Structure 1
Amino acid sequence: MVNFMLPLRGAQSIFTIVVLGLTAYVSNWWANYWRDMSPTEINFLLFCSVFSLITTTYLGLAAMNKLPAIANNRYALLAADATTMTFWFAGFIALAVFLSSRVCFGNVCNIAKASVAFGAFNWLLFAASTAWAGLYTFRARRPAPKTVEPPMMQNA
């Protein structure tokens, strides 16, 4: 059986690296042009990229069954996927709102808008993997073991 989670994790990693590069460029430009720290929306999307690289490594190793049994917990995998998905949603929405309220022009503006688009696509990828992890987690439950009643004994 083909494990389709590995190509999905690969796509997530590629788009994460793209967003990391784009937001790092925007952050560096902002720091050099304005001589000030870049906006928190840019920094948060940068954080999302670094966090995603860490979680994608963990989730990819889990998909390849390379983790010890204690680290390969269904609920931990679901929590990592859901947390990363939530971060991406908050990150690309925050940057999109920030860019919509500013006068935006030039190459750096286009790069920031591209990072929003790639962030949105990465959110969709993580939403798909979270949905699959949720189905796996809650459908793969084992029923509770039935209690065995002790045999009836006759008291004499």
Structure 2
Amino acid sequence: MGLILPLRIVQGVLALVILGLSAFVANWYNMDTMTSSPSQINFLVFVPLWSFISIAYLELVPRFAPRASHPWAAVMFEALNVLFYFAGFIALAVFLSKLLFCRGSVCAAARADTVLAALQFALWTGTALLMAKDVFKTG
């Protein structure tokens, strides 16, 4: 599957960008407001970290420790990323839609975070379908 490695690279880069945007918004809430950062933002700090763990398992374990690699574990990692990004971008979009005002660099970062999380959802869905197809085909 020559398509998977470039998709993993894109997933890793987007996860890094989402982590940076989420951390920026969380830092703004924690430092410049009287409230702590919303759970929706905190969740989108966690999800890219989970993606890094998933990418490491999905790409490195089959190459360097093939006995530790299991096809159903790979499908599980893929499916959890799909669910996490879906929940994350929907929750943040709903949170942003309920704000009374949303301006400035923090709001733009949160909106970009939502869009990139939706893109990650699409990418992880695609690789999850490819992985599930491969697992069901080979057994």
> Bigger radius of gyration, 1 or 2?
1
Find 1:117's aligned residue among 115, 118, 139.
115
Mean Cα deviation higher: 119-128 or 32-41: 32-41
Q: Which amino acid aligns with 1:123?
A: F
Matched, 1:31 2:27: no
Give the structure with the larger helix fraction: 2
Pairwise CA RMSD: 1.2
Matched, 1:80 2:92: no
Work out the percentage of aligned pairs sharing the same amino acid: 36
Q: Could you give the per-residue CA deviations for residues 19-52 of structure 1, whole angstroms, max 9, x where no partner exists? A: 0000000000111111432000000011101111
TM-score by length of 2: 0.94
Q: How big is the shift at 1:60?
A: 1.9
Q: How does 1:134-153 map to 2 (within 5 A)?
A: 134-141=132-139
Q: Which amino acid aligns with 2:102?
A: C
SS of alignment partner, residue 70 of structure 1: helix
CA distance in 2, matches of 1:35, 1:52: 31
Number of paired residues? 138
TM-score by length of 1: 0.84
Q: How big is the shift at 1:70?
A: 3.0
CA distance in 1, matches of 2:116, 2:55: 16
SS of alignment partner, residue 94 of structure 2: helix
SS of alignment partner, residue 66 of structure 1: helix
Matched, 1:129 2:127: yes
Unaligned runs of 5+ in 2: none
Q: How big is the shift at 1:57?
A: 1.4
Q: Could you give the per-residue CA deviations for residues 74-112 of structure 1, whole angstroms, max 9, x where no partner exists? A: 111001100111101000110000000002111110110
Mean Cα deviation higher: 68-77 or 19-28: 68-77
Q: How big is the shift at 1:67?
A: 3.5
Structure 2 counterpart of 1:68: 65
